[in-house]
A and B are shown apart, each in its own frame.
Chain A
Amino acid sequence: MVDFEAVIFVIVSGAAIVGALGCVFSARVAHSLLWLMFTFFSVAAAFLMASAEMLAAIQILVYLGSVMLVVQFGVMLTRRRIQDVESLPTLNAISAVSGIGVFAFILVLLRGMMEHSMWDDASSTAPTTIAFADAIFNDWTMATIILGSLLAMAMIGASYLVRDERLVNLLWDMGAEE
């Protein structure tokens, strides 16, 4: 008897891992971005399989819809080859060593996580979206409000950081003649 849910999860997680590897090892930034969107879509599918439908919707709407759009703008506005900058040879060596180190780190972490005692007790039922809404707007009201003001501050700060201070544009703003 084949467990179809397990098969689907293996496909979804394989897609997520392939997308993440493609994001890291793509030569072009735009391709990295597309692979990353693929990964986020797969992660949304994994959320769905954990019966977190609302989070899957948030993932697709917020991450794929707006965050990736902003990153795409960043890619368009800073279009320049990076490779012509000569990097230090020691830094390249550190990158190569860190690849091996990260691989070992993944293996150790996977082993420690899968054998952790928290998975021993029987799994209870997954929470519902109604409980989620109740928790956000009743138990975590203050956190939600602070989160909103944090987002507003971040957007104001971002627009302050990218302000244009060139004299020509300032004069044009104030209605001066060319």
Chain B
Amino acid sequence: MIDPSWIAALGVILFGIGLLGTFYHKNAIVVLMCIELMLNAANLNFVAAATHYGDVDGWVFTAIAIAIAAAEVAIGLAILLSLYSTQGTISLDAARELSN
């Protein structure tokens, strides 16, 4: 079996790339996708720890995190769609209704 620390290292790299994407992009959907990427990196960390300690709780947390990610995507896209219908764009720079 593969060394669990390698899986955690992959998680770290994916988390960093996802973090970079959230800073880099203006399109709200791409930012949402990068947040998904970071969630997946966290899941990799859970799985690495569960494999290392031989404890199944890390898997349970991963399953819960995946289900919550599904709910988060549904809510996030609903918010984006209502933003699009009121503002006509989903650019994060253009949406400053609350600041005025």
Contacts and interface: CB of A to CB of B under 8 A. Distances in A.
A82 B37 contact: no
A125 B94 CA distance: 52
Interface residues of B, number: 74
A124 B34 contact: no
Contacts, number: 244
Contacts of A161: 75, 78-79, 81-82
A114 B50 contact: no
Contacts of B13: 13, 17, 20, 106, 110
A55 B19 contact: no
Given A55-B59, A85-B93, A147-B68, A123 B3 contact: yes
B23 A158 contact: no
A24 B1 contact: no
A113 B34 contact: no
Interface of B is mostly: helix
A110 B20 contact: no
Interface of A: 5-6, 9, 13, 16-17, 20-21, 23-24, 29, 32-33, 36, 39-40, 43, 46-47, 49-52, 54-55, 58-59, 62-63, 66-67, 70-71, 73-75, 77-78, 80, 82, 85, 87-88, 91, 94-95, 98-99, 102-103, 105-106, 109-110, 113-114, 118-119, 123-128, 131-132, 134-136, 139-140, 143, 147, 150-151, 154-155, 157-159, 161-162
Interface in B27-54: 27, 29-30, 32-34, 36-37, 40, 43-44, 47-54
Nearest to A88: B93
A66 B17 CA distance: 23
